[in-house]
């Protein structure tokens, strides 16, 4: 178990005390807020902003009774956490997973506030989750759960107020059911734009070109911008991936198109390895057919330990939070840790890797492509437009490159790591908007 070895500034401790929270080092939400408060100290933002940012504005807890196919009923617990909306409507994914904790959802909502601010999108931050293993439900059960959840959320979501999107365990079909349920109860005057209540919808029902691959594509644009300064050529890199779902499989396919060598992949079913390279497209087919990477015949099965020890240029986690702890970090043999998943690295693991000379590229920069194309989808829905794929890609690239440069600039200004720099770049924007808007009441 990791223990505290970090001394936070007195301002961090003061804010925790003022908000009545006892700082727990193991608590991901506390760790995240502490790091953001440290960025606030670098920027010397007003005390009021530190207080506002240290807690979500709203935390909703919902219980959804759903009839199963066999006639029995189950009660599902769900959360929607709305962290901050100073920049625009709340925005963030909905996750379906068996192991959900409120503090985890709170963390993911803060990270959305940071991500949207860093990318200069007109959105705030939110996150939702339902405690359920979606793989254990039939299609009908999933639909009834999703409709019940949407109806329970009621006016707590809306195209001008809070806009969910897919995340772990949810997909375009689930977004289509959410939008359909919301449209049914929407006022006639907003029915046309009501589909903008969620993003990540299927293309035929108000989705955007490029949304499915957006998170992976955005990450590739960030790598194109940052790797040359580290002396690494993108088309010659070797890399390993944790997770081969939406984000992981798109990172795989897009990096394959650039000539990169995927050496090892691990997901919830096991780990596989091929020194000569794993075919990302074939693996995507295999995972779609079987549910995981296990049994892929063009690579050999390896242990979790061997997976972490594989020598690669880039190590890309694209699964769940906090998977890279100190024990795993000590085994890792890479030049750059590229966070495709949200919060995949514990603070001690990050500290260890930085000391070893491994660069850590933070998730709020690397995976912002998803929410950026979600913004494009929302914009298209409002204007009843459909942009073509090239247009979406070009706009996405612009946002990702500018965000990467913002982070680089902050890292230089404060001589700090990329995570601290990304929080500082986000908080500087949020601070400016609070200052411009002034205080109320
Ligand atoms: P997904 O459900 O499509 O895939 C999740 C992957 O994680 C699967 O391959 C699964 O096998 C793997 N996984 C789960 N438990 C595991 C374990 N114990 N060990 C190893 N692998 C495990 O989810 P996704 O949409 O690809 O999201 C992945 C990450 O990216 C999450 O952190 C999510 O919040 C983040 N993210 C997603 C998007 C998006 O557009 N989907 C955008 C930004 C960030």
What are the residue boundaries of the structural domains of the chain, listed by start? 1-55+417-432, 58-194, 214-361
Gyration radius (Cα) of the chain, Å: 21
Topology classification of domain 58-194: Rossmann fold (3.40.50)
Whether residue 422 has its Cβ less than 6 Å from ligand 1:
no
**Ligand 1 pocket test, candidate residues 94, 174, 215, 343, most atoms within 8 A of CB:** 215
Per-residue pLDDT of the chain (441 residues; tens, 9 = 90+): 444 456 677 788 889 989 888 888 889 999 999 999 999 999 999 999 999 999 999 999 999 999 999 999 999 999 999 999 999 999 999 999 999 999 999 999 999 999 999 999 999 999 999 999 999 999 999 999 999 999 999 999 999 999 999 999 999 999 999 999 999 988 888 888 899 999 999 999 999 999 999 999 999 999 999 999 999 999 999 999 999 999 999 999 999 999 999 999 999 999 999 999 999 999 999 999 999 999 999 999 999 999 999 999 999 999 999 999 999 999 999 999 999 999 999 999 999 999 999 999 999 999 999 999 999 999 999 999 999 999 999 999 999 999 999 999 999 999 999 999 999 999 999 999 999 999 888
Separation of alpha carbons 179 and 158, rounded Å: 10
Cα-to-centroid distance, 52 and ligand 1 (Å): 30
Helix axes 389-414, 369-383, angle to 10 degrees: 130
Whether residue 167 has its Cβ less than 6 Å from ligand 1:
yes
Q: Does domain 214-361 have CATH number 3.40.50.720?
A: yes
| Phi, psi angles (nearest 5°) of residue 9 | -65, 160
**Ligand 1 atom 29 nearest Cα:** 341
pLDDT at 26: 85
Rounded to a whole number, what is the distance in angstroms from the first to the last CA of the chain? 45
pLDDT at 21: 83
Q: What is the dihedral of CA 374, 106, 56, 157, to 10 degrees?
A: 40
The model carries a pTM of 0.95
Separation of alpha carbons 211 and 176, rounded Å: 14
Please tell me whether the peptide bond between 441 and the residue prior to it is cis, using omega within 30 degrees of 0. yes
Do the domains 214-361 and 58-194 match in fold? yes
Residue 163's closest CA among 340, 382, 335? 382
Residue 331 is among the residues annotated as catalytic for this protein: no
């Amino acid at each position: 178990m990791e223990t505290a070895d970090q001394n936070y500034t007195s301002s961090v401790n003061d804010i925790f005390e003022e908000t009545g929270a006892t700082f727990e080092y193991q608590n991901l939400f506390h760790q995240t807020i502490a790091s953001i408060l440290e960025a606030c100290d670098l920027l010397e933002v007003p005390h009021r902003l530190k207080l506002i940012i240290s807690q979500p504005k709203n935390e909703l807890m919902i219980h959804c009774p759903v009839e199963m196919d066999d006639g029995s009923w189950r009660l599902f617990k769900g959360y929607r956490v709305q962290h901050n909306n100073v920049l625009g409507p709340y925005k963030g994914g909905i996750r379906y997973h068996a192991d959900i904790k409120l503090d985890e959802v709170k963390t993911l909502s803060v990270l959305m506030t940071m991500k949207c601010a860093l990318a200069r999108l007109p959105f705030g931050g939110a996150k939702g989750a339902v405690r359920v293993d979606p793989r254990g439900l039939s299609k009908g059960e999933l639909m009834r759960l999703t409709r019940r959840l949407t109806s329970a959320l009621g006016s707590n979501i809306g195209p001008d107020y809070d806009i969910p999107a897919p995340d772990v365990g949810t997909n375009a079909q689930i977004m289509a059911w959410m939008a359909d349920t919301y449209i049914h109860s929407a006022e006639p005057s907003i029915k046309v734009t009501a589909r903008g209540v969620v993003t990540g919808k299927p293309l035929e029902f108000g989705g955007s070109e490029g949304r499915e691959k957006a998170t992976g594509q955005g990450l590739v644009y960030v790598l194109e911008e940052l790797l040359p300064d580290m002396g690494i050529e993108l088309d010659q890199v070797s890399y390993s991936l944790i997770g081969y779902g939406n984000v992981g499989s798109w990172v795989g396919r897009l990096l394959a198109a650039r000539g990169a060598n995927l050496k090892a992949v691990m997901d919830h079913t096991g780990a596989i390895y091929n020194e000569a390279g794993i075919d990302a497209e074939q693996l995507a087919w295999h995972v779609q057919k079987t549910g995981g990477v296990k049994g892929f015949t063009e690579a050999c099965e390896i242990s979790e330990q061997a997976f972490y020890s594989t020598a690669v240029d880039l190590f890309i986690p694209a699964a769940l939070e906090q998977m890279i702890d100190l024990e795993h970090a000590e085994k890792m043999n890479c030049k750059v840790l590229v966070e495709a998943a949200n919060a995949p690295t514990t603070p001690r693991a990050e500290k260890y890797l930085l000391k070893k000379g491994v660069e850590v590229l933070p998730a709020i920069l690397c995976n912002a492509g998803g929410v950026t194309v979600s913004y494009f989808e929302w914009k298209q829905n409002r204007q009843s437009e459909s942009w073509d794929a090239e247009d979406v890609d070009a706009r996405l690239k612009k946002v990702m490159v500018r965000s990467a440069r913002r982070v680089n600039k902050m890292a230089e200004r404060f001589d700090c790591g990329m995570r601290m720099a990304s929080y500082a770049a986000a908080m500087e924007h949020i601070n400016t908007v609070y200052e411009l808007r002034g205080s109320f009441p």
